[in-house]
Amino acid sequence: MPFPNTVHYGWPAGFPGAWASQNPQRMVVPGANGFCAGAGGVVIAAFAWVQADGAIVLNKPDPANPNAAPTGFVVRAQQGQATQYMQQSTMTIAQGFMVGLAEGGDVFALSATASTTGQAVYAALANGTLQCAPSGAAPTGTVDTGWSVAQGAAAGLPFIITGPLAGARSAVSSSGTGN
Stronger pLDDT, 5 or 106, i.e. the higher one = 106
Domain count, the chain: 1
The domain of 100 spans: 26-172
The rounded distance, in Å, linking the Cα atoms of 101 and 83 is: 22
Q: 131-153: per-residue pLDDT in tens?
A: 999 999 999 999 999 999 999 99
- Alpha helix segments (H runs only) across the chain: none
pLDDT of residue 80: 58
Q: Flag whether pLDDT at 1 surpasses 90.
A: no
Assigned domain for 20 exists: no
pLDDT of residue 171: 40
Assigned domain for 9 exists: no
**Beta strand pairing call for 56-58 and 36-37:** parallel
Assigned domain for 2 exists: no
Stronger pLDDT, 73 or 10, i.e. the higher one = 73
In contact, 144 and 161? CB cutoff 8 Å: no
Assigned domain for 45 exists: yes
Dmax (CA) of the chain = 59
Please return the burial class of 64, using the count of CB atoms within 10 Å of its CB with bins 0-12, 13-18 and 19+.
exposed
Average pLDDT (158-165) is 91
Q: Which of 5-9, 37-41, 81-85, 110-114 has the lowest mean pLDDT?
A: 81-85
Beta partners for residue 120, in sequence order: 133, 148
Q: 24-64: per-residue pLDDT in tens?
A: 999 999 999 899 999 999 999 999 999 999 999 999 999 99
The rounded distance, in Å, linking the Cα atoms of 148 and 118 is: 6
**Beta strand pairing call for 26-27 and 101-104:** antiparallel
Assigned domain for 111 exists: yes
Assigned domain for 80 exists: yes
Assigned domain for 11 exists: no
> Which pTM was predicted?
0.84
Q: Flag whether pLDDT at 178 surpasses 80.
A: no
Dihedrals phi, psi of 170, to nearest 5 degrees: -65, -25
The rounded distance, in Å, linking the Cα atoms of 118 and 122 is: 13
Assigned domain for 37 exists: yes
Q: Flag whether pLDDT at 175 surpasses 80.
A: no
Separation in Å, CA 118 to CA 20, 69, 121, 133, 168: 16, 19, 9, 9, 17
